[in-house]
């Protein structure tokens, strides 16, 4: 089997590694890939990113199935294009990808199918939004309607901050169209969890739960990032929480996907908030999370490639999805300055054998064979153990064996209060 994986992050490195475990997979192409995917035995990086080029490549190379990492391609309709050309691909249709691509679309969907979520209002007019702010109780949450590379959500503690945010989004148009429409949402207090799942449109099979750490600094302080580390399973996702998630979120979501005839064969990632008032859905993502994938996939006991093929063939109902016992902890090492500006081109060195798994992200293989930084989130290390403490200790011990100038990581990933 030949597989194409689209993307270039730590998530895609984890996908390449997991797909490669199946002996029937003879070749994996990663487009455009990174320094880590390029080092995997079965994998070759191909430097293409446009949908038409990817489609031509998949046809020419007789790719058996494609997995799409990032939402950008999904929202542009890559799945519809591949399917029209008779190619197998894991991902939602363009219409279903709107569950991530538009906050107002996804909130309307949640409302229509009675999925438990924060109360909200939609605005496409600045004056109306500002008027509404005057009546709000703070904090409130302001969200750009469109994709904003993870930067489109601001928690506002007071009127002044909210007003500035609306000005940035709607008037200054900092997200180039994506913030012209906004939603203003009730603030929920609680603990977050990420539940990656896979669907063939008939059933949704949830993966083991996980927990991202979004802020840059220890203690959850500072600006949001793409994610500075993840653990799995999420210790807060007990049976009661998962039962509620099933009943109030997963089941009505499946009903909505079916009723709306969305053509959804892919990953559906539920971002939930566990509060004193119950479990709420914050958002859908229509693809694998990063770094969650680096923590979750290595725990999968079942064959990942068989799972993907079952989903694409509409046969998930009979798939017995199994997980290894124990915990994982993924730490992200970032460039100095991230999520702001940072330098690139710095050499990454490893000293000593790692006990966990190393997934490269913003890192490339230089002409001289060295691995060098070229992004904000540079790499992830996932440690494993029978307890969360052992998984953490393994990951932190491994992190000491990796060096690059200015390397930054949080020191509290997986610390549970």
Minimum CB distance to ligand AMP smaller for 118 or for 297: 118
Looking from the CA of 24 toward its CB, the CA atoms found within 13 Å total: 8
Tokens of 359: 């997934």
User: Which letter does DSSP use for residue 72 in this model?
Assistant: H
Q: Are the C-beta atoms of residues 96 and 286 closer than 8 Å to each other?
A: yes
Q: How far is the CB of 332 from ligand GLY (least distance, A)?
A: 10
**Footprint on this chain of ligand AMP (rule: CB under 6 A):** 118, 141, 143, 153, 155, 185-188, 192, 214, 271, 282-283
Residue 227 binds: one of ligand AMP, ligand GLY, none (C-beta under 5 to 8 A by kind): ligand GLY
Q: Are 270 and 197 in contact (CB under 8 A)?
A: yes
- CB closer to ligand GLY, 145 vs 292: 292
- In whole angstroms, how close is the CB of 295 to ligand AMP at the nearest point? 16
Return the ∠ at Cα 230 (arms to 225 and 234), rounded to 5°. 130
The residue (of 185 and 200) whose beta carbon lies closer to ligand AMP is 185
Contact residues toward ligand GLY (CB under 6 A) are: 212, 227, 285, 289-290, 292
- In the list ligand GLY, ligand AMP, none, the entry touching 187 (Cβ below 5 to 8 angstroms by class) is ligand AMP
* SS3 assignment, position 172: coil
Is residue 167 exposed (0-12), middle (13-18) or buried (19+ Cβ within 10 Å)?
A: middle
Q: Which is nearer to ligand AMP, 155 or 321 (CB)?
A: 155
As measured in angstroms, the least distance from the Cβ of 412 to ligand AMP is 16
Closest contact distance (angstroms) between CB of 283 and ligand GLY is 8
In 31-156, which ranges are continuous DSSP H helix? 51-60, 71-76, 78-84, 94-101, 103-112, 126-135
Which is nearer to ligand AMP, 107 or 392 (by Cβ)? 107
Q: Return the one option of ligand AMP, ligand GLY, none that residue 290 interacts with (CB less than 5 to 8 A, by type).
A: ligand GLY
Nearest to 231 by CA among 390, 391, 69: 391
**Which among ligand AMP, ligand GLY, none contacts residue 283 (Cβ within 5 to 8 A by kind)?**
ligand AMP
The residue behind tokens 């020419």 is: 60
């Amino acid at each position: 089997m030949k597989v194409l994986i689209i993307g270039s992050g730590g998530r895609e490195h984890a996908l390449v590694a997991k797909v490669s475990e199946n002996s029937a997979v003879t070749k994996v192409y990663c487009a455009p890939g990174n320094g880590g995917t390029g080092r995997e035995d079965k994998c070759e990086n191909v430097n293409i990113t446009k949908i038409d080029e990817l489609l031509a490549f998949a046809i020419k190379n007789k790719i058996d199935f494609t997995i799409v990492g990032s939402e950008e391609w999904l929202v542009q309709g890559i799945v519809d294009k591949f399917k029209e050309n008779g190619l197998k691909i894991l991902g939602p249709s363009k219409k279903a990808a709107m569950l991530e691509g538009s906050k107002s679309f996804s909130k309307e969907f949640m409302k229509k199918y009675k999925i438990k979520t924060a109360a909200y209002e939609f605005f496409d007019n600045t004056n109306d939004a500002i008027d509404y702010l005057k009546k709000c109780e703070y904090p409130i949450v302001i969200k750009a309607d469109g994709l904003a590379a993870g930067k489109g959500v601001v928690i506002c503690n007071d009127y002044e901050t909210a007003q500035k945010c609306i000005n940035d989004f709607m008037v200054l148009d900092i997200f180039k169209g994506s913030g012209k429409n906004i939603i203003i949402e009730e603030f929920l207090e609680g603990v977050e969890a990420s539940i990656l799942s896979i669907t063939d449109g008939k059933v949704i099979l949830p993966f083991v739960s996980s927990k991202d750490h979004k802020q840059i600094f220890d203690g959850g302080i500072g600006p949001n990032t793409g994610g500075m580390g993840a653990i799995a399973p999420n210790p807060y996702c007990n049976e009661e929480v998962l039962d509620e998630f099933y009943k109030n979120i997963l089941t009505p979501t499946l009903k909505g996907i079916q009723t709306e005839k969305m053509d959804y064969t892919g990953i559906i990632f539920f971002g939930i908030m566990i509060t004193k008032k119950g479990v709420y859905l914050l958002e859908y993502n229509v693809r694998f999370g990063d770094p969650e994938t680096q923590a979750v996939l290595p725990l999968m006991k079942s064959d990942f490639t068989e799972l993907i093929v079952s989903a694409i063939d509409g046969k998930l109902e009979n798939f017995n999805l199994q997980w290894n016992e124990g915990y994982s902890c993924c730490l992200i090492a970032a460039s100095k300055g991230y999520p702001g500006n940072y330098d690139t081109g710095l050499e990454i060195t490893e000293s000593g054998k790692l006990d966990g798994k190393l997934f490269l992200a913003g890192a490339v293989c230089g002409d001289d064979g060295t691995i060098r930084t070229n992004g904000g989130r540079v790499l992830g290390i996932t440690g494993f153990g029978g307890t969360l403490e052992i998984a953490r200790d393994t990951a932190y011990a491994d992190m000491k064996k990796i060096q690059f100038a200015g390397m930054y990581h949080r020191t509290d990933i997986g610390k549970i209060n």
